[in-house]
Chain A
């Protein structure tokens, strides 16, 4: 449905050229929810803006629904854009128009008759759960409601593709979830292809089936969400996933920690579970088999795409020998174990 072909984007800051995107290739199948994730400044916003040519790629091709947008005249491009909906981080609703009028705008632009507009907008507002807000102005809506209006507006011209530019980044976690739920529903009911960019891992985990990681303008990895999270192939991807999970050692532990084992101290370890780890109740097995008590300090485990992964900080209370055997056992089962130090 969306094909991004060898796309480059160069910005000029005076004489200096900045490669915002370099040689991006991406194919997004009809009906998928595709996430692009990256830290700020990685180029993800530029990428999504290239898809509807809000930003014109320096070179390369953007093919949406079989049409190469980069080859169209301005007039043809305006028409093609009506089949590509877009929502934004800051909603971009017109303050001078009511909720109804905002949703009606794309239809007005397309010259749809008033009766048809009335019918269509009513249906859309019902779909996004704002049927009672017809005559309200956006300034009187909450962030989540504004994004719902924006979604309704984006769907008004029956697009085949929906672009979400950090659509949940300005919303609180609960509202984020409700918006994601709505997107999932739309994806299912209308078989709409959704491309979303975000810096929030949770967003990708909760609704995307495919994900691409972008860093410094380059696409470093792409694939099914579970694969990428469980078996990151590149260092950047691994770093990115860890950065969202990383567990730091509490300050008072840090203070009590020594690099060598002394009498009366126990190892503090970091366990990293990846998709390669043996899927078994390892913690309780270790406890039973090596007669060790395990105290979990903190843990960030997750489940996506059929695999468990995450990080855990734990103390192992037992004899020195038992602790070593336990660590060896865990490593045998493909859990990455790092001894951070010994805590008295």
Chain B
């Protein structure tokens, strides 16, 4: 019955269908663009946090403290506030504070510290004996990172990526606030504000499927690279 109502609704609401497809595209753009940039900056930040900590390969207490504080501040600002708080920065980067591209900026800024902490945790799980063995072989700090730490932490890092992408999907729902579009935005505007329960449900179902897909792909990849 439910399926019937959805499929008949599908046929009679061509405009809304188009809207949903477009919203899905926006969500995917926001999630993956901010995810990608976030990983590019967050993973090195996580590595820096790990290396600079006490007993790390490049121990540097001051740097560790500074990075740690910045990351903690980033992690403690609620995303909805971050979204509006950095509007001047967003405008500086993309030239506008409204639209999908504009939403990517705060999403990325929010994702970086999140990723950094997760990556730091993944690196922490690499047994210290492996690093020691590499040192004994005459590995330079850079080689230790590229040949030992990152490959050994890969399952954990992929897991971190999965968690981040899922979190970004839910953050992206708030991006409607700055006109970023996306499925969450459609759900709020058409489903909630116009009392259209069917639209609301469709957006939720689409989001659930999207999250399931991301998680399954992530789990599958972890399984493939994990030889522990």
Tell me which residues across on chain A come within 8 A of B139, comparing CB atoms: 78, 109
A106 to B140, CA, bound (A): 11
Tell me which residues across on chain B come within 8 A of A105, comparing CB atoms: 134, 137, 147
User: Does A96 contact B138, Cβ atoms closer than 8 Å?
Assistant: no
Q: Which of A78, A96, A97, A138 is close to B140, meaning CB atoms less than 8 Å apart? A: A78
User: Does B135 contact A54, Cβ atoms closer than 8 Å?
Assistant: yes
A92 to B128, CA, bound (A): 9
Complex interface residues of chain B between 112 and 164 (CB less than 8 A to chain A): 127, 129-130, 132-140, 143, 147-148, 151-152, 154
Instruction: Please tell me the size bucket of the interface on A.
Output: 20 to 34
User: Does A94 contact B151, Cβ atoms closer than 8 Å?
Assistant: yes
- Residue of B whose beta carbon sits closest to that of A110: B138
A86 to B134, CA, bound (A): 10
Q: Which of A54, A95, A110 is close to B136, meaning CB atoms less than 8 Å apart? A: A54
A47 to chain B, nearest CB (A): 15
User: B15 near A: Cβ within 8 Å?
Assistant: no
Tell me which residues across on chain A come within 8 A of B227, comparing CB atoms: 95-96, 137-139
User: A90 near B: Cβ within 8 Å?
Assistant: yes
Interface of B is mostly: helix
- Residue of B whose beta carbon sits closest to that of A52: B136
Tell me which residues across on chain B come within 8 A of A75, comparing CB atoms: 140
Q: Which of B129, B143, B154 is close to A92, meaning CB atoms less than 8 Å apart? A: B129
A38 to B129, CA, bound (A): 22
Chain A 91-129 interface mask (CB, 8 Å, partner B; 1/0): 010111100000001101110000000000000000000
Instruction: Please tell me the size bucket of the interface on B.
Output: 20 to 34
B157 to chain A, nearest CB (A): 11
With A54-B135, A80-B138: A96-B129 Cβ-Cβ less than 8 Å:
no
B226 to chain A, nearest CB (A): 8
B159 to chain A, nearest CB (A): 15
- Residue of B whose beta carbon sits closest to that of A90: B129
User: Does A96 contact B152, Cβ atoms closer than 8 Å?
Assistant: yes
Q: Which of A79, A88, A139 is close to B138, meaning CB atoms less than 8 Å apart? A: A79
Complex interface residues of chain B between 199 and 228 (CB less than 8 A to chain A): 225, 227-228
A80 to B137, CA, bound (A): 9
Point out which of B130, B133, B137 has the most chain A C-beta atoms below 10 A from its C-beta.
B137
A–B complex contacts, Cβ < 8 Å, 6 sampled: A78-B139, A88-B133, A92-B132, A95-B227, A137-B227, A163-B136
| A residues with CB within 8 A of B | 52, 54, 75, 77-82, 84-86, 88, 90, 92, 94-97, 105-106, 108-110, 137-139, 153, 157, 163
| B residues with CB within 8 A of A | 127, 129-130, 132-140, 143, 147-148, 151-152, 154, 225, 227-228
Task: Given A85-B136, A105-B137, output 10 extra A-B contacts at Cβ < 8 Å.
Answer: A81-B136, A82-B137, A86-B133, A90-B129, A94-B148, A96-B154, A106-B138, A109-B139, A109-B140, A157-B138
